[in-house]
Amino acid sequence: MTTPSLLRTPLHAAHIAAGARMAPFAGWEMPLHYGSQIDEHHATRKACGLFDVSHMGQVRITGCDALKLVQAIVTRDVAHLGDGQSAYCAMCNRAGGLLDDLIVSRLAMGDYLLVVNAGTYEGDLAQMHAVEREFGPFDARIDGCRDDWAMLAVQGPEAPAVLARVLGGGLDPPAMRMISVEWRGQAFWLSTTGYTGERGAELIAPVEMARDLWDALMAAGARPVGLAARDTLRLEQAFNLSGQDFTAQNHPFEVRLGWVVDLDKPDFCGREALRAIRAGVCPRQQCGLLPEGRRIPRHGARVLHQGKQVGVVTSGGFSPTLGRPIALGLLQSQIVKSEEPLEIDLGRGTTVPAVITPLPFLRAQPL
| Domain parsing of the chain, residue ranges | 7-49+147-236, 283-357
pLDDT by residue (tens digit) across 345-363?
999 989 999 999 999 999 7
Tell me the three state secondary structure of residue 32: strand
Measured distance CA(235)–CA(45) in Å, rounded = 13
Overall fold of domain 7-49+147-236: Gyrase A; domain 2 (3.30.1360)
pLDDT at residue 364 is higher than 60: no
- The pLDDT value recorded for residue 365 is 54
Neighbours of 85 (CB within 10 A): 17
CATH code for 283-357?
A: 2.40.30.110
Q: To the nearest 10°, the Cα dihedral for 180, 215, 116, 208? A: 70
Cis peptide before 137 (omega within 30 of 0): yes
Q: Residues 327, 38, 212, 7: is their CA dihedral positive or negative?
A: negative
Q: Are 252 and 258 in contact (CB under 8 A)?
A: yes
- Polymer length of the chain: 367
pLDDT by residue (tens digit) across 164-216?
999 998 777 899 999 999 999 999 999 999 999 999 999 999 999 999 999 99
pTM, full prediction: 0.96
Q: Percentage of the chain surpassing pLDDT 90?
A: 95
